[in-house]
């Protein structure tokens, strides 16, 4: 059983309130109790978990922990005895009310809520700056990977060129299983759900929204722009077929769901979508539910951060890292966190439209097995100034009437590839949907 002694030696006592006891909340609570002595050795004041809130608090097992409980998180936000609020409710409605009220009441706040930051971060950072409080959100991106700390502290004075990241474990698991076990999308998704790697309603993950929240947070941090979530290009993995996986493999690529942010001439790219990743690229070796963030900078070159991106224990470790910072901030030991709140949104750079971004593309076309069809397709591509790097023709499909034609193009504007695909669809000898997937080329 977890036993927490509220009697600590010393005058100063920092009371902590935890809001939300789901998977992450429960793990955070247990880890703070279990590793209390280790945490205490890294902070400058005594602390305790004094209050816990959950909508269904009566059903929660607190393992004998001596705390004040409530089913109303706003009670904690308004309680003058609490110094630090750990918000693990999720969502953007109640969570925002609790966080904003806590900040207004001069409480330090820690959250793992990526949706909250991506959609309301600009307002929250402003409140945090005005209130002169610590606002920690390490756990909101990539779980146990300390990417927020690295970007805002270790790389603070570095010019960051780009970030390419596998930042959704559900997508990575599904695509990985499709590649390694030759599963179709539905089967791989069902397996992920059975193992707890995907929600009963997986649309937020497989549709790309979860990754979009995360990449918009990273873009805002490194380029000092307002949170760009509403302008982020979002594409999920629902349209990826087992044939796309197979053909990509034959061409020397692995399909991954990638979050991208880059800056060039004060134009910032912020996008999430599937990409063909060359097999000799380190991101292609990220398997199962693991996350990885590849950061490229002016002086250090490239660095990759790798680890568990989700789950109770992984996220709790990031929450505890922020807790140490929050206590030391409260005691005026380290107040560098304020620089984050002060810098977000100070630069007003434009988000680049997806059609204005250049990429190489994988294109899969189903055409009749007749003479001249390739000439028709390549003629359209040539008129749009699209060069072909590689092309393969495969065996006819099950009906025997159509052949899959797969191409890798040279780097081209998204608008040009869309125009070409629209024209190719109109050809009499081309049938069905044409699938296009961007190709990762880090030098371009």
Percent of the chain with pLDDT over 70: 93
pLDDT in tens, 302-342: 999 999 988 889 999 999 999 999 999 888 776 666 566 66
Domain boundaries, the chain: 13-143+313-343, 147-307, 358-439
What does the pLDDT read at residue 3? 37
Q: What is the C-alpha to C-alpha distance for residues 38 and 418, in angstroms, rounded to an integer? A: 56
- The Cα-based distances of 343 to 8, 15, 102, 125, 255 in angstroms read 37, 29, 21, 9, 35
Cβ(406)–Cβ(400) below 8 Å: no
**Alpha carbon distance, N-terminus to C-terminus of the chain:** 55
pLDDT in tens, 118-175: 999 999 999 999 999 999 999 999 988 999 999 988 887 889 999 999 999 999 999 9
In this prediction, residue 108 has a pLDDT band, given cuts at 50, 70 and 90, of very high
Averaged pLDDT for residues 245-268: 96
Q: Determine how β-strand 233-234 pairs with β-strand 267-278.
A: parallel
- Among 327-331, 351-355, 397-401, top mean pLDDT goes to 351-355
Dihedral angle, C-alpha 277, 302, 165, 316, nearest 10 °? 140
- For residue 356, pLDDT over 90 is answered with yes
DSSP for 216-258 reads HHHHHHHH-PPP-GGG-EE--STT--HHHHHHHHHTTEEEEEE
In the three-class reduction of DSSP (H, G, I as helix; E, B as strand; rest coil), residue 384 is classed as: coil
Q: What is the C-alpha to C-alpha distance for residues 269 and 352, in angstroms, rounded to an integer? A: 5
214 assigned to active site: yes
Q: Which of the residue ranges 40-44, 102-106, 257-261, 276-280 would you say has the lowest mean pLDDT?
A: 40-44
At 213, give phi and psi (nearest 5°): -55, -45
Give the number of other Cβ atoms within 10 Å of residue 356's Cβ: 11
Distance, CA of 220 to chain centre: 13
What is the H or E stretch that residue 74 is in?
A: helix 73-78
Q: Which fold would CATH assign to domain 358-439?
A: Alpha-Beta Plaits (3.30.70)
> Which residues make Cβ contacts (< 8 Å) with residue 357, sequence separation at least 6?
269, 271, 413, 414
Q: Which two structure tokens, joined as six digits, stand for 22?
A: 């789901």
What does the pLDDT read at residue 311? 86
Cβ(203)–Cβ(234) below 8 Å: no
Q: Which of 214, 256, 352, 364 is catalytic?
A: 214
Cβ(228)–Cβ(259) below 8 Å: no
- For residue 7, pLDDT over 50 is answered with no
CATH superfamily of 13-143+313-343: NAD(P)-binding Rossmann-like Domain (3.40.50.720)
> Which residues make Cβ contacts (< 8 Å) with residue 428, sequence separation at least 6?
none
Give the number of other Cβ atoms within 10 Å of residue 125's Cβ: 23
Decide if domain 147-307 falls under CATH 3.30.70.260: no
pLDDT in tens, 53-90: 999 998 888 888 899 999 999 999 999 999 999 999 99
Model pTM?
Answer: 0.91
Q: Which two structure tokens, joined as six digits, stand for 13?
A: 């006592």
């Amino acid at each position: 059983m977890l036993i927490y002694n509220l009697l600590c030696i010393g005058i100063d006592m920092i009371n902590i309130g935890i809001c939300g006891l789901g998977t992450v909340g429960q793990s955070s609570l247990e880890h703070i109790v279990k590793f209390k002595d280790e945490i205490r050795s890294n902070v400058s004041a005594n602390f305790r978990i004094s209050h816990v809130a959950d909508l269904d608090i009566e059903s929660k097992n607190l393992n004998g922990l001596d705390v004040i409980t409530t089913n109303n998180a706003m009670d904690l936000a308004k309680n003058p005895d609490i110094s630090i609020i750990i918000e693990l409710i999720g969502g953007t409605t109640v969570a925002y009310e609790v966080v904003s009220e806590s900040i207004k009441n001069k409480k330090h706040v820690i959250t793992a809520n990526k949706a909250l930051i991506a959609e309301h971060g600009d307002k929250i950072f402003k409140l945090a700056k005005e209130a002169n409080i610590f606002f920690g959100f390490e756990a909101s991106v990539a779980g146990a990977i300390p990417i927020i700390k690295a970007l805002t502290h270790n790389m603070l004075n570095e010019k960051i060129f780009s970030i390419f990241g596998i930042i959704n474990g559900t997508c990575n698991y599904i695509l990985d299983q499709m590649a390694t076990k030759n599963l179709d999308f539905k089967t791989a998704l069902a397996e992920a759900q059975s193992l707890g790697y995907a929600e009963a309603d997986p649309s937020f993950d497989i549709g790309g929204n979860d990754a979009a929240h995360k990449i918009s947070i990273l873009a805002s941090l490194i380029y000092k722009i307002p949170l760009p979530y509403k302008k982020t290009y979002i594409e999920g993995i629902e349209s990826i077929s087992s044939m796309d996986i197979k053909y990509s493999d034959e061409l020397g690529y692995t399909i991954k769901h990638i979050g991208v942010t880059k800056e060039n001439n004060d134009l910032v790219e912020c996008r999430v979508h599937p990409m063909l990743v060359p097999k000799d690229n380190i991101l292609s070796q990220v398997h199962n539910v693991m996350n990885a963030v590849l950061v490229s900078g002016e002086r250090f070159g490239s660095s990759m951060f790798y680890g568990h991106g989700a789950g109770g224990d992984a996220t709790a470790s990031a929450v505890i890292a922020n807790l140490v910072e929050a206590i030391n901030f409260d005691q005026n030991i380290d107040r560098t966190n304020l620089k984050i709140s002060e810098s977000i949104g100070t630069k007003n750079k434009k988000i680049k439209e997806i059609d204005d971004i250049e990429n190489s593309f994988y294109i899969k076309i189903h055409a009749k097995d007749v003479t001249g069809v390739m000439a028709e397709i390549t003629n359209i591509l040539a008129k749009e100034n699209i060069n072909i790097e590689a092309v393969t023709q495969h065996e006819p499909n099950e009906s025997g009437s159509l052949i899959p034609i797969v191409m890798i193009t040279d780097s081209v504007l998204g608008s040009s590839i869309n125009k070409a695909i629209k024209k190719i669809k109109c050809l009499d000898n081309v049938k069905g949907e044409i699938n296009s997937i961007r190709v990762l080329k880090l030098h371009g």
